[in-house]
Structure 1
């Protein structure tokens, strides 16, 4: 049943040789890897306006120069990550760049920040998509957490089906969103130029008495939330068809051009229409309502906006498993993240991402505004470290025209560092958890690596001197009575060795005497050892008995504990029986250096 459900949800298993068919072309990669960045158009301008409103409506004209500054930073980041793609064509982005040029601790800081950021990406995207739906249908506001969780489950299942299949399905709504936003921008500009909008807005350059440099910097840093996801292409180069680096670089340029045009267009319309933030209606929703009214076009734009906000999480589903794979390859994450699933994706990374992002949505009650500062800090730390790493690389290698490249990375590093510090100082109450969580994550990385190193050292053998130790064998068979299950187990044990003992634990003398008499009548050719348990424990007397055998035969015999177990025909029947065999096996695994085996006996009804 479980197998059939799995096949229904994620499809047939794929051969390892089919992996080349799972690589992405530029158009599909643009949809999958740019969804996070493109979706931020839906809330980037809104984040700027939320900060500026602290100085009053007269300050909203500052959103235009701030948006231009954000575009300038976008250009720097696009140029920088394009250099990163060609310098590190194997992918890994900020983690690989920082580890290679700044050392392992800095690389782990960048990698840990990105992992946290990708989890936050899924949580923010699902929450923001829910906000877009509840803007159009306010009656659904109370169910926003449930809606977000449903979308996370949907995206997790889609990505478990494979990169190509998810890209084919998800590309349609993403390109619909791009088309819808450009229709909105062009229609809005035409309506404004033809005098269809009569909004009372502050003039450009108008004096605002209570504006401050600190407030403007805070608004700029908030607007830079529109740049999250820009790094995803450089992280996921292995997902591209050959030539991977050229396709990745082209995809990055296309993403930057589309994102820049949409972001500045929404900022212009928000200013011309006199839009101010509304907790129950997004900025894009207000612009669409002012441009088209609350008709079919409005609901179409809200629908595709909600979809792109949900699907923005797909960027994380593409990049998180690859980054987790690279960290696991370096022994900083569990090796399970290196395993490809039935559909050739890193399934464990996909499931891990889905579970933890769902937990965040529940913990924050789907509140996007509280998640965005965490989200932005999580991505700007790797931005800064990646830029700094590339600066060190150019200083070390000094290739042709390195000064220009160094200048681009220097400007980018100083800007992203400034934004990170502004976020920390202005929104510390929202982002302090990053500074608790990141050291824990990095500490876990080192603990995992230490475990793998210690395990390898302990398991390593000397090929010249270490040889297998040939011993005899003693098999201990715990029995609860005389049944076909016990008979089956004893038969198997005797096929391996004549040195077999059965062990029975009784709770009183009468019970033990009855068992001994019955065993003597049956006479299976195996000696029975009976043990009395004064405290009604089965495991403790058996463990003491094994200790005794170990002490007597450690130099001559391997000790095997052969546990008889019957398997019920239906899964629900298991709960009708005590599971002492499972407890005994679990205890032996953790306590003893003995061989543990189970002999199953399948019931037919």
Structure 2
């Protein structure tokens, strides 16, 4: 049943040879890898306005120059990451660049920041999508957590079906959002040009009461949340069709052009319409209502906005598993992240991302607005490290025309580092936890790496000097009586060794005498040792006996504990039996010099 359900949800398994078909075209990649960046159109302007409104309505004029500054930063990042794509066509983005040019610890800082940020991306994007739905249908507000978890489950299943199939389906709402927002901007501009909009307060006085450099920098840093997701293309180059680096670079340029245009359009309309943020309605919702009224077009825009905010999480689903794979390949994360699933995706990474983001939403009860600064800082740290790593690369290699590349990355590094400082200064109360969390994450990376290295050293042999040691085998068979399960186990044990000891734990003298009599009558040819347990424990006397055998025979023989175990026909039958064999096996697994073997006997009824 479970297998049939898995096939229904995920689809048929794909052969390894079909991996080449699971690559993305530019059209699909733009939808999958740009959804996070494009979705920020729905909340980037709003984050700027929320800060400016602390001064007053007249301060909203500053949203225009701040938006222009954000657009300039976007241009720098696009040019910088375009260089990274060609320099590191194998993908990995900031992690690979930082590790190779700035050292392993810095690479782990970049990789850890991105992994945490991808979890936050899913949580924040899904919550923002839920907000868009509840703005249009306020009655659903109390069910926001359930809606968010359902959407995470949907995206997880879609990505488990494979990146190509998910891209084919999810591309439509992404491009629908772009088309509808373009229509909204064009209609809004036409309405404004035709005089159908009441002009917003036109104040260019730089001495507005209450405004300060601190407020402007805080608003700018808030607007920079619109730039999250820009790095995803450089992380996921292996997902592109050949030539991968050229297709990735073109996709990045298209994403920058679309994002910049939509962001500036929404910012301009928000100012000209005199839009102010409201807790119960988003800025995009207010612009759409002012432009089209609350008719079909309004609800279409709200629906597409909710979809793109939900699908922004899909960028993380494309990038998180690939980055986790690269770090696992370098032995900094568990090996399970290197395994491809039935549909050739990194299934473990997809599932872990979905589970962790769902837990975060439940903890925050769907209110993840406070995570946006942390989410943005988690991106700008890798931004800065990536630019610094590329600067070092150009300086060391000095290829033809390196000076221009070095200048672009230098400007990028200075700008993104400045943004990090602005975040720390203006939003320290919201981002301080990253200074505790990231060191813990990096510590676990180092411990995982150390474990794998120690394990490899311990398991490594010299084929020329070391050969298997041939020894005898003492087999200990714990028995609970004379029955077919024991008969089956002793028969198997005799095929391996003649040195077999059956062990029975009796709770009183009568029990011991009855068992001894039955064993003599059976005459199995195997010696029976009866242990008495005054405290009705099977494990304690059995372990003491095994210790004695091990101490006496460790130099000449292996010690194998062969456990009889019956397998019930139905799963619920297990609850009707003590299953002592499972407890014995679980305890003995931690013993260094004892081999545990289970001999199953399948019941027919």
Q: What's the TM-score once normalised by structure 1's chain length?
A: 0.99
Alignment of 1:282-361 (within 5 A): 282-361=282-361
Residue 426 of structure 1 corresponds to 426
Provide the rounded CA distance (Å) in 2 between the counterparts of 1:485 and 1:429: 65
Check whether the contact 2:474–2:559 (CA below 8 A) recurs between aligned residues.
yes
Distance 2:278 2:495 in 1: 78
Does the aligned pair in 1 maintain the 2:218–2:427 contact within 8 Å? no
Aligned ranges 1:578-597 → 2 under 5 Å: 578-597=578-597
Aligned 8 A contact 1:364 1:371 in 2: no
What is the CA–CA distance in structure 1 between the aligned matches of 2:586 and 2:203, rounded to whole Å? 74
TM-fit CA distance, 1:360:
0.8
Name the residue aligned to 2:456. 456
Distance 2:202 2:54 in 1: 15
**1:390 maps onto 2:417 in alignment:** no
Q: What residue is the counterpart of 2:85 in the other structure?
A: 85
> Quick one: distance in 2 between partners of 1:42 and 1:575?
53
Once residues 240 and 163 of structure 1 are traced to their aligned partners in structure 2, the CA distance between those partners, rounded to angstroms, is 11
Cα deviation 1:37-84 (Å, max 9, x = unaligned): 000100000000001111111100100000000000000000000000
Match of 1:552 in 2: 552
Deviations along 1:444-465, one digit per CA (max 9) or x if unpaired, are 0000000001001111111111
The CA distance in 1 between the partners of 2:85 and 2:157, in whole Å, is 29
Residues 163-219 of structure 1: CA deviation (Å, up to 9, x unaligned): 100000100111111111101111111111111111443434464111001110110
Q: Which residue of 2 aligns with 1:163?
A: 163
SS at match of 1:278: coil
Asked if the contact 1:59–1:202 (Cα under 8 Å) also holds between the matched residues in 2, the reply is no
Offset, 1:384 = 0.6
Aligned counterparts, 1:354-373, within 5 A: 354-373=354-373
Name the CA distance, whole Å, in 2 between partners of 1:432 and 1:481: 63
Unaligned runs of 5+ in 2: none
Which runs of 5 or more structure 1 residues have no equivalent in the other structure? none
After superposition, residues 28-47 of structure 1 pair within 5 angstroms as: 28-47=28-47
**2:123 alignment partner in structure 1:** 123
3-state SS of 2:477 partner: strand
1:275 has 2:279 as partner: no
**What's the offset of the Cα at 1:591?**
2.3
**C-alpha contact 2:325 2:338 (8 A) present in aligned 1:** yes
Q: Which digits, 9 at most, give the CA deviation of each residue in 1:281-315, with x for residues without a partner? A: 00000000111111111111000100000000110
Counterpart-to-counterpart distance in 2, 1:571 and 1:46: 54
Aligned to 2:408: 408
Offset from partner CA, 1:214-241 (integer Å, 9 cap, x none): 1101100100000000000000000000
The residue that corresponds to 2:62 in the other structure is 62
2-structure distance, mates of 1:527, 1:490: 11
- Whether the 8 Å CA contact 1:558–1:594 is kept in 2: the answer is yes
* Contact 2:502/2:526, CA 8 A, preserved across alignment: yes
1:574, distance to aligned residue in structure 2 (A): 1.4
**SS of corresponding position for 1:40:** helix
Match of 1:493 in 2: 493
TM-fit CA distance, 1:499: 1.3
Q: How many residues align?
A: 605
Q: Supply the distance in 2 between the matched residues of 1:6 and 1:179 (Cα, whole angstroms).
A: 35
Separation in structure 1 between the aligned mates of residue 169 and residue 26 of structure 2, nearest angstrom: 15
RMSD of aligned Cα (Å): 1.0
Q: How many Å separate the matches in 2 of 1:54 and 1:144?
A: 28
The 3-state SS of whatever aligns with 2:495 is helix
TM-score scaled by length of structure 2 = 0.99
